[in-house]
Chains A and B, each alone.
Chain A
Amino acid sequence: MTEERMSGAALIIRALQDQGVDTIFGYPGGAVLPIYDEIFKQNQLRHILARQEGGAVHAAEGYARSTGKVGVVLVTSGPGATNAVTGLTDALMDSIPIICFTGQVPTHLIGNDAFQEADTTGITRPCTKHNYLIKSPDDVARVVHEAFMVATSGRPGPVVIDVPKDVQFAEGVYQPPSTVRHRSYNPQTEPSSGKIDEALDMLAAAKKPVFYVGGGVINAGPEASETLVKLVHTTGYPCTQTLMGLGAFPGSDPLSVGMLGMHGMYEANLAMHQSDLIVCVGARFDDRVTGRIDAFAPNAKKIHIDIDPSSINKNVHVDLPIIGDCGVVLTQLLDGWNAKGLKADGAAISAWWEQINGWRERKCLSYVQGKDIIKPQYALERLQAHMDKDPREGYITTEVGQHQMWAAQYLKFEKPNHWMTSGGLGTMGYGLPAAIGVQIAHPDALVVDVSGEASFLMNMQEMSSAAQYKTPIKVFILNNEWMGMVRQWQELLHGGRYAESYTESLPDFVKLAECFGWTGLRATTPDELDDVIAKMIATDGPVIADICIAKDENCFPMIPSGAAHCDMLLGPNDQANSSVSSGGMTLV
């Protein structure tokens, strides 16, 4: 076999092509010019120009989450790399496969405080799953292929590849993907023997069971979601989803009790609290989910299915850990249940559902829509109604804050990979670039970024990218002129002293849209709302719909920090009677 030799920059492009990559999100700069030159010379890889490197990473995240593929990013050294750090951390927290190439100053200048030099591998070490600094062009192909393996296998995550400029110019030998073997990295995907039988015994014996499912199911692929639906239906047990797990199980399914956690459904949190068996699938007992940890599900035995051993027993002690790919484990559970002819305890389970339905009767999402002011809940219900009528596939991204929680509560999630939100890191400014990434991957889909006016301002430079690529994304701003979640916590915890949470001098979002070549719409009263949503959806290009909502609306239900699942605030009346403990004050 003859060796293929080419420049380091060409090796990168060749390796990406062999990995099946068709899209790169990035921003050029001095230290990555040779790579950009190679991009210019070919047509297989499409480059999407962001307006800031952080936007490039979020766009790649949106692309990755909505396709299940790897999101690829290319940025320059120094500020290019440091701007990417928030997106990388976001991808790490939410287990999103990202490969981020960063330019680096030439090898002989590393450590000299050269222009646009930053210690990129040092800075990104704690916010990536793994990172590389390539010192020789002969390593380029191997490292790229290895990075894809690391980013996608086990618990997915971001990988940074730092490439000095001299390595991009120097010639090296190409190695195809098949040659890559990693000596030390080999995550377990098949569960250990015996665990499945033990889990089945626990499942069949349960009287008050609940499936608690998270983003791991979505990362395991659409088949894992299908298997989950079958398993839940076969047992007849209730299923609650985390913020990241919305869509892993259909929200409209009668066996779904909705999202759990701080702003989760009353019935979901009460079911967790009173259960005698929690089957956690691809979730991680996050502090937003558990509330006060020593009062969390006091009577429940816990089965925890996760591909990452470090998620086990981190926050909550579990009785039966099962390490493995969620899809594989769910299939084995389903097959085992059927093969053994197991039956749920019919009487106990119907009594359990009776109890759950009692909690459902509380209708924790009820709100009052008056005649004059648009309630955010109503705006989202109308958005859902209009999206339901549209023949296109609907995707939702969000920013972070009240609007994000309302979107999680009031929109419907039926399928995996259709809901993109920054769950772990809580990154304001995520939703707009993520929506662009989703739309690039699904040009014919209806992509809506449910936004808040404060979050939107954090990455609004990406409006220019959306205009350039004609991505017809719809930004649905729930505009209350406040950093709403900050305001809500100040009301609840800080005596209503609203320090710096009101946004003075907001732009006119309609004019803002127009100056970027978008369409701008506004609704200020409930009777304008339907027209605006209909027009937003019918407009060809990108749209901002500025929905002026009630300014002081709080997000309920809510478990105040430091409280247990059974101490939920259901609405303003509960809020008046609540007091947050001093321990809870210090929590986030």
Chain B
Amino acid sequence: MQDQPIEPHTLSLLVENEPGVLARVIGLFSGRGYNIESLTVAEINPEEHISRITVVTSGTPMIIEQIKAQLDRLVPVHSVNDLTAEGPFVARELAMVKVVGKGEPRVEALRIADVFRARPVDSTSESFVFEITGSGEKVDAFIDLMRPLGMTDVARTGSLAIARGR
């Protein structure tokens, strides 16, 4: 049991959008010693006050099973889907990267952004804010390349995910 492999899982929850619901979910992870690698929350159905929480966690299959069961018994949780277990899914992250500089580094930053299909969403004569979406690895790679070119700040979401097909 102890020698089971630890694997990452992406869980997708539908919850009542009510005060304290996020604290319940996070508190469950910290209180029971589970990992949160990333967490993204937003209301997706304002009429019915339903939010989606996408959480990337890791653990042995037995722990993942526990996490799902524990989440599912929280009163405001409608459903828990384990995207990793249930089949192919698409996952994306969004980052905004601020790069400050002039001359050749500035041009190089713009060139790399183009390769990564990152868009400048703010520009001044001395700075850019690039918006990039993609897998976590792609966002990591972009940030690594921007760092020596005058990167001063990053804002980044956790993983968002949805099952492929119907």
Contact = CB atoms under 8 A, between A and B. Distances in A.
Interface of A: 121-122, 125-126, 129-131, 133, 150, 154-155, 182-185, 187, 293-294, 308-310, 312-314, 317
A121 B20 contact: yes
A583 to B, nearest CB: 13
B66 A150 contact: no
24 contacts: A122-B23, A125-B20, A125-B23, A126-B27, A126-B31, A130-B74, A130-B75, A131-B20, A133-B19, A150-B75, A182-B75, A183-B16, A184-B75, A184-B78, A185-B75, A185-B76, A294-B2, A308-B69, A308-B73, A309-B69, A310-B66, A310-B70, A312-B69, A317-B62
Residue among A121, A122, A154, A184 with max Cβ neighbours from chain B (10 Å): A184
A473 B65 CA distance: 45
Given A121-B20, A155-B73, A185-B76, 19 more contacts: A125-B20, A125-B23, A125-B27, A130-B74, A133-B19, A150-B75, A182-B75, A183-B78, A184-B16, A184-B75, A184-B77, A184-B78, A187-B73, A293-B1, A309-B69, A309-B72, A310-B66, A310-B72, A317-B1
Nearest to B67: A310
Contact of B66 (A185, A293, A294, A314): A314
Contacts of A122: 23
B150 to A, nearest CB: 41
Contacts of A317: 1, 62
A154 B75 CA distance: 11
A85 to B, nearest CB: 14
B11 interface: no
B132 interface: no
Contacts of A155: 73
Interface string B9-28: 00000011001100110010
A310 B73 contact: yes
Interface string B24-65: 100100010000000000000000000000000000001001
A313 B73 contact: no
A149 B76 CA distance: 14
Nearest to A126: B31
Nearest to B72: A309
Contacts of B78: 183-184
A529 B155 CA distance: 75
A184 B49 CA distance: 12
Contacts of B65: 313
Residue among B2, B19, B66, B78 with max Cβ neighbours from chain A (10 Å): B66
B16 A125 contact: no
A122 B23 CA distance: 8
Nearest to A122: B23
Contacts of A133: 19-20
Contacts of B76: 184-185
A314 B32 CA distance: 12
Closest 6 pairs between A and B when the two form their complex, measured CB to CB: A310-B69, A130-B75, A184-B78, A309-B69, A185-B75, A310-B70
B100 to A, nearest CB: 38
Contacts of B75: 129-130, 150, 182, 184-185
A87 to B, nearest CB: 19
Interface residues of B, number: 22
A235 B10 CA distance: 45
A437 B43 CA distance: 45
B121 to A, nearest CB: 35
Contacts of A130: 74-75
A130 B77 CA distance: 12
B15 A184 contact: yes
A121 B31 CA distance: 16
Contacts of B31: 126
B9 to A, nearest CB: 16
Nearest to A311: B69
Contacts of A312: 69
Given A125-B27, A150-B75, A154-B73, A313 B62 contact: yes
Contacts of B2: 294
Contacts of B16: 183-184
A483 B65 CA distance: 40
Nearest to A316: B1
Contacts of A309: 69, 72-73
Contact of A125 (B24, B66, B70, B73): B24
Contacts of A185: 75-76
Contacts of A121: 20
A294 B72 CA distance: 28
A480 to B, nearest CB: 36
Contacts of A129: 75
B88 to A, nearest CB: 26
Contacts of B24: 125
Contacts of B73: 154-155, 187, 308-310
Contacts of A183: 16, 78
Nearest to B20: A121
Contacts of A314: 66
A562 B111 CA distance: 62
Contacts of B77: 184
A185 B24 CA distance: 15
Residue among B20, B23, B75, B78 with max Cβ neighbours from chain A (10 Å): B75
Nearest to B16: A184
A127 to B, nearest CB: 10
A121 B76 CA distance: 15
Nearest to B48: A183
A239 to B, nearest CB: 27
Contacts of B1: 293-294, 317
Contacts of B19: 133
A70 B1 CA distance: 39
A313 B66 contact: yes
Contacts of A182: 75
Contacts of A184: 15-16, 75-78
A188 to B, nearest CB: 10
Nearest to A133: B19
Contacts of A125: 20, 23-24, 27
Contacts of B74: 130
B156 to A, nearest CB: 28
A38 B23 CA distance: 34
A313 B4 CA distance: 14
Nearest to B70: A310
Contacts of A294: 1-2
A302 B1 CA distance: 16
Contacts of B62: 313, 317
A180 to B, nearest CB: 13
Contacts of B23: 122, 125
A45 B16 CA distance: 34
A192 B1 CA distance: 26
